[in-house]
Amino acid sequence: MTVDYDTLAKTVAALTEGETDQIALMATIACEVHHADDRFDWTGFYRVTKPGLLKIGPYQGGHGCLVIPFSRGVCGAAAQTGEVQLVPDVDAFPGHIACASSTRSELVLPVRDASGDVIAVFDIDSDQPDAFTEVDAERLGTILTRVFAGL
């Protein structure tokens, strides 16, 4: 199964319309994205809870790391730089945090609020190497912007 981004975007828009609670929005998106594609082995959010620190938020899949400093791992890099991290081989990423030994590739997108501040990162792990593309990053980024940029 490969994600149909047009359908996913419409489904997420319908499910999140009018909702302003960040946790409810994150839970809904994590669920919908996780079940949209077989490549997505772990799908979830890490929330910025204080400067330089991420804590686990809503997710789908096995356990995740509870706390990630901005200075560590792929999620930390996305939060610190505010840039998408597309990692085809996590073993080649300096400082990668192995929350799950099955992870082979990772896509992490910063999540911004209406003022442009990074409020979280959206992390997708795959047990397949080189599982993600620029199209995945662009289409998921658009969905995240539509949901969170108005908050």
Max CA pair span of the chain: 41
Confidence check: pLDDT of 95 > 90: no
CA distance 77 to 54: 11
Q: What is the DSSP letter of 100?
A: S
Residues with Cβ < 8 Å from 93, sequence gap 6 or more?
Answer: 73, 74, 87, 106
At 96 the pLDDT is: 85
At 100 the pLDDT is: 80
Q: pTM for the whole thing?
A: 0.97
Whether the CB-CB separation of 67 and 32 falls below 8 Å is answered with no
CA distance 87 to 3: 19
Domains of the chain, start order: 5-148 (3.30.450.40)
Choice between 9 and 96, residue whose per-residue pLDDT is larger: 9
Closest CA to 87 of 121, 26, 130, 38: 130
> Which region, left, alpha or beta, applies to residue 14 given φ > 0 means left and ψ of -120 to 50 means alpha?
alpha
At 119 the pLDDT is: 98
Phi and psi torsions of 45, nearest 5°: -115, 145
> Per-residue pLDDT averaged across 129-139, rounded?
98
pLDDT, tens only, 52-73? 999 999 999 999 999 999 999 9
